Amino acid sequence: MGVGEVTRRAVFLDRDGVISRPLMRARKPYPPRSPAELELLPGVPEALRVLKAAGYCLVVVTNQPDVARGTTPRAIADTINERLKAILPLDAILMCDHDDADRCECRKPQPGLLRRATRELDIDLAASYMIGDRWRDVEAGRRAGCATFFIDRDYDEPAPQYSDFRVSSLAEAALIILQKDAPP
């Protein structure tokens, strides 16, 4: 391989609603308020293990605007992320702690977190996937050039206008990825 050639495929994952259970209020998802409220969704550890065994770099890309809003201390968000890294085979967790008013490049639907991962972890975005449960996740993946999965949780909010795949869980997305990328 040549100098500077990108070599790794990745699966980018939103955190709350994809790997961990969100807190629900009026059919809208919210992040856990403490590490004690962190709960993995069914099938997540197994799905991540098979993706990791297949050679994928696993990167969580998560918006946590409650940090900017002052309703969640940065230390709590960091502790939740560290706990996930300790129990799951993740290569990285990249977090945007801004709100929409900050107009940053890292807050999804902007693709900044995915592009940062590309630079830091040598990832080929065109050979990678973004899995999310909200339109912002899917749109960030689309803007970055990844294939996209929308996990439809029936939230009371608009669904993405376009996704490559619509699934009901991370486990279902993992099966599709493994089948799609299986050697002939």
Show the domains of the chain with their CATH numbers. 10-180 (3.40.50.1000)
What is the per-residue pLDDT for 98? 85
Type of residue at 134? R
- Each residue's pLDDT tens digit in the chain (184 positions)? 445 555 799 999 999 999 999 999 999 999 999 999 999 999 999 999 999 999 999 999 999 988 888 888 999 999 999 999 999 999 999 999 988 888 999 999 999 999 999 999 999 999 999 999 999 999 999 999 999 999 999 999 999 999 999 999 999 999 999 998 877 6
What is the per-residue pLDDT for 176? 97
What is the per-residue pLDDT for 1? 44
For residue 12, the cross-strand partners are 59, 130
What is the per-residue pLDDT for 120? 95
Which residue out of 16, 91, 97, 137 is catalytically annotated? 16
Count helices and strands (H / E) in the chain: 6, 8
Q: Dihedral (C-alpha) 103, 135, 83, 9: value to the nearest 10 degrees?
A: -100
Which residue out of 14, 91, 97, 133 is catalytically annotated? 14
Task: For residue 65, give Cα distances in angstroms to 45, 72, 114, 129, 158.
Answer: 26, 9, 17, 23, 19
100 is catalytic: no
Going by their DSSP bridges, the two strands 28-30 and 23-25 should be labelled as antiparallel
152 is catalytic: no
What is the per-residue pLDDT for 102? 87
